[in-house]
Structure formats: structure tokens, C-alpha cells
Structure 1
Amino acid sequence: MHPPPYLPGYPPPPPPLRPVRGVAIFAVVALVCESVVGVAVAAIDFWYAALVDRMITDRGSVSEAQVDAADLVYGMSGILEAVVYVVAVVAFLVWLFRVRANAELLAPDGHRRSKPWLILGWFVPIVWFWFPKQIVDDIWDASTRSPSPQKGVFHAWWAAWLIANLVSNVGARLMFGAEELDQIAAAARFDMVCIALTLVAAVLAIVVVRKITDVQEEHRSAVAVYGVSGAYPAH
């Protein structure tokens, strides 16, 4: 056993890692809610597109009351989808800040991007293609205490997120630019594709959250079991 770290001549104990399980649960629940809402919105898209098809085929088969109700449901579903997406983004960022703080304790010099990029990296043009992925990779490497080759799910998550966002941007342009009935129906159906891709990215994001959370919680548990020895135990 190591001598108590507070004795003269021994290094001071490292700052304790902060618990991450709570914020991870928050992030996972938010991502699950986003996925569930996305499935519901996709069903509404399908229903709305079918209604528009009926209008194209036989305008008289759909009453004005049905059109107004469909427009209201379709519009409200889009608002709900946007709100839940924002909540999921906030939850993920809260978790990201917490695990990054722990990762800096585990590997102070192991991060390529400073803290402001934890937010800016997702929004600044061009660099958002790779800065957030670098940040998450560095957190994983710091948490495993070595450059880990086990990053397949991280690569898959990032590819899915990029594709989903690029396709969603196209879908938004189609939706806001749709004026004719056939364009409106096509935009609703394209939104279903966007939702499917976002769902894949959300599922992979949950896996990423769980993997990083588990390894950091293992560090905290090891310290609790073996005591502080001046350095965190290697994973």
C-alpha cells in the first residue's frame, strides 16, 4: 500500500473526479425522448403526405376543416420536434462539460481544443466537421489513460451525426421552399428520411455517453475502494 498522501514528502492527492452518472442519465433520457418524438413526427409526416396526395388526386375529397386540422398537427409536431431536439442538445452538452472536466484531471495535457470549443465547435462553420469529434476522442483517451484504438462506435456516431445534419439541412430547405402540393408531400416524406438518420445518430450518441461515463465511474469507484494514492489508477 502507498503511504498516506498527506505525509511530508509525498505528493498531494489529486482533485476528486466529479460524478457523471446523473448527467449521463439526463443526456440519455433526453436522447431517448428525442427519438420517441421523432418516430411520432415521422408517422405524422406519413399521414400528412398521404392527405396531400388525396388533395392532389381529388381536391374535393378533403374538406377545409381537415386541411386546417392537418396543417395544425403538422406544424405543432415540427415545433415539438425542435423543442425536444434543443433539450437533447443541452443535456448532451451538460454531460460533455462534466466528462471533459474529469478528463482534464486524468490527462491535463491530453486535449487538443480549449473549453470554449465544447460549444463553439458545434456551430462555427467548417471546423464543426471535426472539432467536436476531436474533443470527444480526447475525453475517451484521457478516460482510458491511453490512446485507445477502440473507437469504432465513436467514428460511427460522428459519421451518422454529420450525415443526419447535412440531410436535415436539405430537408429544411425543401420544407420552407415548398409551395405546390406535390412539393409539400415530397418535403414531408423527405423529413421521414431525416428523422431516420437522426434516430441512428441518437442511438449511437447514447452508446458514446454510456462508454465514457462507465470508464470514468470506474475511476471514481477505484479511488473509493483503494483510496487516493497520489495518482488515479490506470484503467
Structure 2
Amino acid sequence: MALVADSLVGVVAGAIDLWYANLVERVLADADSVSEAETNTGDLVYGLSGILETVTYLVAIVAFLTWLFRVRANAETLSPHGHRRSRVWVILGWIVPIVSLWFPKQIVDDVWDASNRDPSPPKGLFHAWWAAWLVGAWVSNIASRVLFNAEEPAELVTAARFDLVSIVLMLVAAVLAILVVRRISDAQEARLAEAAGAFPHSPAPTGYPWA
């Protein structure tokens, strides 16, 4: 749900970016055509949308990492020796420079391998998600720098349009992330159902903190 909410807020923020860029361009073309009240409203709405976007993004990150930590614990039960990174990297892998470019993807791949019955489970979706995430995060970082350094109205227009591009890319990554979450969760739920069928009178294994 957090990823869905983040995606919806991203759509709204993208629309506000377009509206604000158009407003600033009107100011550049003819300052008298835009009232001070309209300008102040534009600045306020643009600023608030950025705050809302940041908050929902952070909530989505926390929710995703919580889910990933749980399914990793499940995967360790299913395949104790099938993981290239220790559990601490489920969190640190995203924030440690350099290794953040591939450690999280390895962790998700290993969880998927452990959760799926297929000896060579397809990873096309996972590759697409990770590529979209890396590109989106890179463009988002550039957009933040452009906005931070913007002083002139023309620079604000550039920042708003850069932010729009980053939002579109991160939306693609978010949609793919939702599919990844669903794919892994479904696979683990199927394994739990198998275990329940094999031992119908036994309680659910305490080592399965299913997400």
C-alpha cells in the first residue's frame, strides 16, 4: 500500500511540476500577467508538494525494507545456505556507497531463488525493476541538485521539468517494485500452503514470519 500511495503522490507531484513550470514561464514572458497572489500560491503549492512527496517516499522505503527483511527471514528458512549476503546487508546494502549499486539486487535475487520452486526462476522483472530504480535515483539526485542551486526563474523551470522526469522514472520503478513484492510474496505463500498441506495437524512453523 505504501508503494501505491507513493506512486499516486508522484502522479500529483508531476502534475504540479508541469503547472508550476508553466506559471514561471508566464512570469518570464510577462511579469504583469501573473498576480503576486498567484505567484505566492504557486510557490506554496510547489513547496508543499515537494514535502509530501518526500514524506511518502520515506514511508514507502520503510515499508519496503520491512517487507524485504521479513521475506529474507522466510527465505533463510527455505534455503539456509542460498544467500550471498548476510542479513545485515538487507538494510546496509542500500546506504553504503558503491556496494549499494548491486548488493540489494543480489539480496532480492537470492530471496526469489529460495522462494520459487523453479530451479532457474526467471528474473526479467527483477532486472527491469533494478535498472529503473538505478536510473530513477540518479536522475532524482540531479533534479535535487538543480532545484537546490536554482536562483533565477528560468532555473526554477529547469528544476521543475527535471523533477518531472525523475518522478516518471521513479513511478516506473515503483510499479515494477510492486510487481516484485507480489511475485515473491505469492511464491512464499505457495510454499507455506504446501507446508500446511504436508502437515495438516501441525502448527505453522514459528520460523516463518510470512510477510
2:16 partner letter: I
Which residue of structure 1 aligns with residue 41 of structure 2?
69
| In 1, Cα distance between equivalents of 2:199 and 2:120 | 26
| In 1, Cα distance between equivalents of 2:26 and 2:119 | 57
Q: Which segments of structure 1 move beyond 2 Å, counting only runs of 4 or more?
A: 145-149
In the alignment, is the contact (CA less than 8 A) between 1:161 and 1:198 conserved in 2? yes
Gaps of 5+ in 2: 206-211
Structure 1 residues 66-122: Cα deviation after superposition (integer angstroms, max 9, x where no partner): 111111100000000000001100110111011000100011111111111111100
Identity of aligned residues (%): 63
For residue 151 of structure 1, report the CA deviation from its aligned partner: 0.3
In the alignment, is the contact (CA less than 8 A) between 1:111 and 1:138 conserved in 2? yes
In the alignment, is the contact (CA less than 8 A) between 1:143 and 1:216 conserved in 2? yes
Give the alignment's TM-score, normalised by structure 2: 0.92
In the alignment, which of 75, 97, 102 is matched to residue 69 of structure 2?
97
In the alignment, is the contact (CA less than 8 A) between 1:106 and 1:145 conserved in 2? no
Which residue of structure 1 aligns with residue 100 of structure 2?
128
| In 2, Cα distance between equivalents of 1:105 and 1:149 | 18
| In 2, Cα distance between equivalents of 1:128 and 1:148 | 25
Structure 1 residues 38-92: Cα deviation after superposition (integer angstroms, max 9, x where no partner): 0000110001000000100011111211111111100000000000001100110
Gaps of 5+ in 1: 1-28
In the alignment, is the contact (CA less than 8 A) between 2:10 and 2:53 conserved in 1? yes
| In 1, Cα distance between equivalents of 2:78 and 2:88 | 19
| In 1, Cα distance between equivalents of 2:136 and 2:106 | 19
In the alignment, which of 173, 193, 198 is matched to residue 221 of structure 1?
193
How large is the Cα RMSD of the aligned pairs?
1.7
Aligned length: 203
For residue 226 of structure 1, report the CA deviation from its aligned partner: 2.0
Which residue of structure 2 aligns with residue 206 of structure 1?
178
